[in-house]
Amino acid sequence: MTDPTRRKDGDRNAHEPERTDPSPAFEFDCEFCDEAFLSETVEAVRDRGATHLETHRDSLLTEFADRERGRECDNDCGYVFPVGVDEVAGFECRSCGHDNFESFAHRYLYWQIERS
């Protein structure tokens, strides 16, 4: 019986091409307008994208109501967002008044940012 050959750690991802071009590695294309954000880091795209999404706050409300139903307020007050889309009036918590938009925008961007 032969022992399996083990690759060196450097060869572990040898099948993947190495990035040598200076182009941005991550992008977010806003579905609400023609804006696109490109950067070498996810953090930069997420920060710029979150600021940009403020302009689309009303458009994101349906997405928020759909994805956040049954989720607790980010302020840890114990409030749970209702299940029905029609029951969610905004990003503000009905119990403590905390605005959940920024944390939702970061989660939304996590789902939307792509590797270029």
State pLDDT tens for residues 20-79: 555 668 999 999 999 999 999 999 999 999 999 999 998 998 888 888 888 899 999 999
pLDDT of residue 86: 64
Question: Helix crossing, 101-112 with 42-53: angle to 10°?
Answer: 130
Whether 16 has a pLDDT exceeding 60, the answer reads no
Whether 84 has a pLDDT exceeding 90, the answer reads no
Token reading at 70: 């049954």
Closest-CA residue to 101 (of 52, 41, 61, 46): 61
pLDDT of residue 30: 95
Whether 8 has a pLDDT exceeding 80, the answer reads no
pTM to 2 decimals?
A: 0.70
Whether 88 has a pLDDT exceeding 60, the answer reads yes
